[in-house]
Amino acid sequence: MAADGPNVNQRPYVVAHVAISLEGATTGFLPDLGKFYQLASTFAEDVTLVGADTPLAQEAALATAPRPGPAPDGPLLAVVDGKARIRQWDALRDVGHWSDVLALHCGVTPPRSPGRGVRELVTGDERVDLAEAIDILGRQANAKVIRVDSGGALIGALLSARLLDEVSLLIHPCLAGPEGLRFWYGTQPAATADMRLMASESFDGGLVWLRYRTSPRQ
Ligand SMILES: NC(=O)c1ccc[n+]([C@@H]2O[C@H](COP(=O)([O-])OP(=O)(O)OC[C@H]3O[C@@H](n4cnc5c(N)ncnc54)[C@H](OP(=O)(O)O)[C@@H]3O)[C@@H](O)[C@H]2O)c1
């Protein structure tokens, strides 16, 4: 990664990589998944951070997906799940993308079944404390890079809390229209004092990749 990349011995570098339509929607169109994940792999994250709604949207596909088992060299999957809505922890661990899974809960998270077999980290009272979770992932899981995979709600929360270092947008040449119900910045755009263009690249099929450095709190 270039000079603008991860900082050694500091908090993890947090990048949100997201596929969007021209109006900024994250749903309601068919993303180029091959290109999306090819570019995602360049971040070589230690932790993939997702909101609960992202795996929940894939529940049916996950239920029938092959399960080769954990990927020993893969990142850790950390799922923000304040309401304990995720059930498929074993499937997520075994689907072959991640080395292990971690449930991020908070004080009001409903009781979990004792034998469900997923490690958990409890931070925050009413919601998962994202700043503390990132800090702990950096210190205890030795995470240098965290890649956020989100349809917008989690990115918006991280942006508002100034916890993002980079926004990586893979723009698709289409409009999602009324089907585009989510936007990459969440429900309410956070005021961002400074978004500095780090890199831009275009690809076949009209795809454009824009990478912006944000101004996270230190
Ligand atoms: N185009 C893309 O690149 C892309 C990528 C990923 C997903 N998607 C699509 O996007 C959809 C899901 O995205 P989404 O935007 O609905 O949800 P999301 O990004 O999965 O985020 C929802 C999660 O964020 C947590 N959250 C939100 N605000 C928070 C705050 N202030 N503090 C702590 N936690 C907070 C919620 O916590 P609680 O659990 O406590 O409610 C919830 O777990 C799916 O349809 C999926 O297919 C698209």
What CATH number is attached to the domain comprising 218? 3.40.430.10
- Which of 119, 143, 167 is at the close of a domain? 143
Contact 95, 69 (CB under 8 A): no
Residue 92 lies in a domain: yes
Q: Which residues line ligand 1 (CB under 6 A)?
A: 18-19, 26-27, 31, 50-54, 57, 80-83, 127-128, 130, 149-154, 157, 182
Element (H, E) at 154: helix 153-160
Give the model confidence (pLDDT) of 13-50 as tens digits: 999 999 999 999 999 999 999 999 999 999 999 999 99
Residue 182 lies in a domain: yes
- Which of 143, 163, 194 is at the close of a domain? 143
129: left (phi over 0), alpha (psi -120 to 50) or beta: beta
Q: 57 and 130, same structural domain?
A: yes
Number of domains within the chain = 2
Q: 99 and 17, same structural domain?
A: no
Give the model confidence (pLDDT) of 155-200 as tens digits: 999 999 999 999 999 999 999 999 999 999 999 877 776 899 999 9
Question: Model confidence at 1, in pLDDT bands (50, 70, 90)?
Answer: very low
Residue 2 lies in a domain: no
| pTM of the entire predicted model | 0.95
75: nearest Cα among 57, 95, 55: 95
Parent domain of 176: 7-46+151-218
Query: Would you state the pLDDT for residue 3?
Result: 40
Q: 165 and 202, same structural domain?
A: yes
Q: 126 and 62, same structural domain?
A: yes
Where are any strands of DSSP class E within the chain?
13-20, 47-51, 76-80, 100-105, 119-122, 145-149, 166-171, 196-203, 207-213
Measured distance CA(123)–CA(207) in Å, rounded = 38
Q: 139 and 54, same structural domain?
A: yes
Extract the tokens encoding 177.
């229209």
Q: Which of 26, 158, 167 to mutate to test the pocket of ligand 1 (most atoms within 8 A of CB)?
A: 26
User: Ligand 1: which residue has its CA nearest to atom 6?
Assistant: 150
- Which of 143, 175, 199 is at the close of a domain? 143
Cα separation values, 154 from 80, 106, 204, Å: 9, 15, 30
Q: Compute, in angstroms, the gap from residue 84 CA to the centroid of ligand 1.
A: 14
* Residue 73 pLDDT greater than 90, yes or no: yes
List % helix, strand, coil for the chain (3-state, nearest 5).
25, 25, 50
